Structure 1
Amino acid sequence: MSAESTKSGPPLKTSHPITFLIIGGGIAGLSTALALRRVGHYVLVLERKSRDVARGHGGVRLPPNLTKILFHWGLKPALMQRALVTHTMLFMRYESGEDLGEHVWDKGMLKETRGIYMLCTHDDLYGLLYEAAVSSGAQIRYDANVVSINSEEREVTLQSGEKINADVLVGADGEFGLSRSTVIGQDGFGTPTGLAMYDTIISSEHVTKHANASTWKDHGIFTAFGSGRAIVAYPVHGTDDLAMQFYGPDDNEGQYGDEPSVDMPEVTVQLCDHFQPLMKLARKAVRVSIRDHSDLDEWISDDGPLVLIGEAAHPFPPGTIQATAMAVEDGAVLARVFSHLSEDRQIDSFLYAFQELRQPRTRSVRAGEFGNIFFMTLEDGEDARQRDDSMRAMAAKGTNVLEGLGGDVSRLWDEIRTIFGYDCEDEADDWWVQWGMLRERALKRNNVDAGQMPATPLLDFSSLMSSVQVTETAQEE
Structure 2
Amino acid sequence: MPFESSSPSSSHQTTYPITFLVVGGGIAGLACALALRRVGHRVTVLERMERSAARGGNGVRVPPNLSKILFHWGLRDVLMSKASITTKLVFMRYESGELLGEHVWDAELLEETQGLFLMLSHSELYDVLYDTATKLGAEVHFNAEVVKVDVPGHSVVLSSGERLSGDVLIGADSEHGQCRTAVLGRRDLGTPTGLAVYDTLIPMAFVSEFDTKVSEESWQFAAFGRGKGVVAYRIRRSEEIALQLYAADVADGGCYEDGPSIDLPCITRDHEISEKLGRAVHGARRATRIPVRQYADLEDWVSDDGRLVLIGEAAHPFPPSTIQGTAMAVEDGAVLAKLFSHLSSEDQIDSFLYAFQEIRQSRVRDVREAELAGIFTITADGPEAAARDASMRAKAAKRINVLEGEGSTESAWEEYGVVFGYNCEDEADEWWVQWGRLRQRALEVHESEPSL
Q: TM-score range by the shorter chain?
A: over 0.9
User: Helix, strand or coil: the match of 2:257?
Assistant: coil
CA distance in 2, matches of 1:205, 1:396: 30
Match for 2:134: what amino acid?
V
SS in 1 for 2:81: helix
Unaligned runs of 5+ in 1: 453-477
- In 2: Cα distance, 1:9 partner to 1:402 partner: 36
Conservation of the 8 A alpha-carbon contact between 2:404 and 2:411: no
2:182 is aligned with 1:182: yes
Residue 82 of structure 1, CA deviation: 1.2
The number of residues matched between the two structures is 447
Aligned residue number for residue 105 of structure 1: 105
Q: CA deviation at 1:212?
A: 3.6
Question: Deviations 1:152-198 (Å, cap 9, x if unpaired)?
Answer: 00010000000001000000000111110000000000000111111
- 5+ unaligned residues in a row in structure 2: which ranges? none
Does the 8 Å CA contact 1:217/1:235 hold for their aligned counterparts?
A: no
User: 1:282 and 2:281 equivalent?
Assistant: no
After TM superposition, list the pairs within 5 Å mapping 1:429-468 onto structure 2. 429-447=429-447
Equivalence for 1:294? 296
Distance 1:410 1:13 in 2: 41
Shift of the alpha carbon at 1:217? 3.9
Q: CA deviation at 1:219?
A: 2.1
Change (3 A) 1:89 1:214: closer
The equivalences for 1:316-395 within 5 A come to: 316-379=318-381, 381-395=382-396
SS in 2 for 1:404: coil
Deviation at 1:403? 1.5
Give deviations 1:19-48, integer Å, cap 9, x for gaps: 000000000000000000000000000000
Map 1:34-45 to 2 at 5 A: 34-45=34-45
The Cα shift of 1:215 comes to 2.5
What secondary structure is seen at the aligned counterpart in 1 of 2:49? coil
Q: Which amino acid aligns with 1:52?
A: S
State how far apart, in whole Å, the 2-side matches of 1:280 and 1:47 are: 35
Distance 1:126 1:15 in 2: 30
Contact 1:391–1:405, Cα closer than 8 Å, also in 2: no
Residue number in structure 2 paired with 1:115: 115
Report the Cα distance in structure 2 between the residues aligned to 1:112 and 1:211, rounded to whole angstroms.
Answer: 33
User: What amino acid is the match of 2:239?
Assistant: D
Is the CA contact 2:105–2:413 (under 8 Å) kept in the aligned structure 1?
A: no
* 2:272 paired residue among 247, 270, 273: 270
2: distance between equivalents of 1:202 and 1:9?
A: 38
Alignment partners' CA distance in 2, 1:369 and 1:154: 34
Q: For 2:346, give the aligned amino acid.
A: D
Q: What is the DSSP-based 3-state SS (H/G/I as helix, E as strand, rest coil) of the residue aligned with 2:16?
A: coil
Q: CA deviation at 1:281?
A: 1.1
Give the SS at the match of 1:260. Answer: coil
- Give yes or no for the alignment of 1:157 onto 2:162: no
**In angstroms, what is the RMSD of aligned CA positions?**
1.8
**Letter in structure 2 aligned against 1:237:** R
From the superposition, tell whether residues 225 and 448 of structure 1 become closer, same or farther in structure 2 (CA, over 3 Å).
Answer: farther
Aligned 8 A contact 2:13 2:39 in 1? yes
Matched residues in 2 for 1:146 and 1:18: separation? 21
Q: What is the rounded CA distance, in whole Å, between the counterparts of 1:135 and 1:447 in structure 2? A: 39
Alpha-carbon distance, 1:413 to partner: 4.1
Residue in structure 2 matched with residue 250 of structure 1 by the alignment: 249
What's the CA shift for 1:400? 0.7
Contact 2:195 2:247 in 1 (8 A): yes
What secondary structure sits across from 2:226 in the alignment?
coil
- 1:273 positional shift: 1.9
Q: Deviations over 1:269-308 (max 9, x none)?
A: 2211232122111000000001000000000111100000
Percent identical among aligned pairs is 52
In the TM superposition, what whole-angstrom CA distance separates every residue of 1:246-276 from its partner, at most 9, and x where no partner exists? 1111121211211201101111222112321
Please give the alpha-carbon distance, in whole angstroms, between the structure 1 residues aligned to 2:272 and 2:287. 18
TM-score normalized by structure 2?
Answer: 0.96
SS of equivalent residue, structure 1 residue 197 = strand
Distance 1:259 1:419, change over 3 A: same
Aligned to 1:473: none
Residues 45-82 of structure 1: CA distance to partner in whole angstroms, max 9, x if unpaired?
00000000000121011100000000000000110011
* Equivalent position of 1:4 in the other structure: 3
Query: Which has the larger displacement, 398-407 or 195-204?
Result: 398-407
**SS of 1:367 mapped into structure 2:** helix
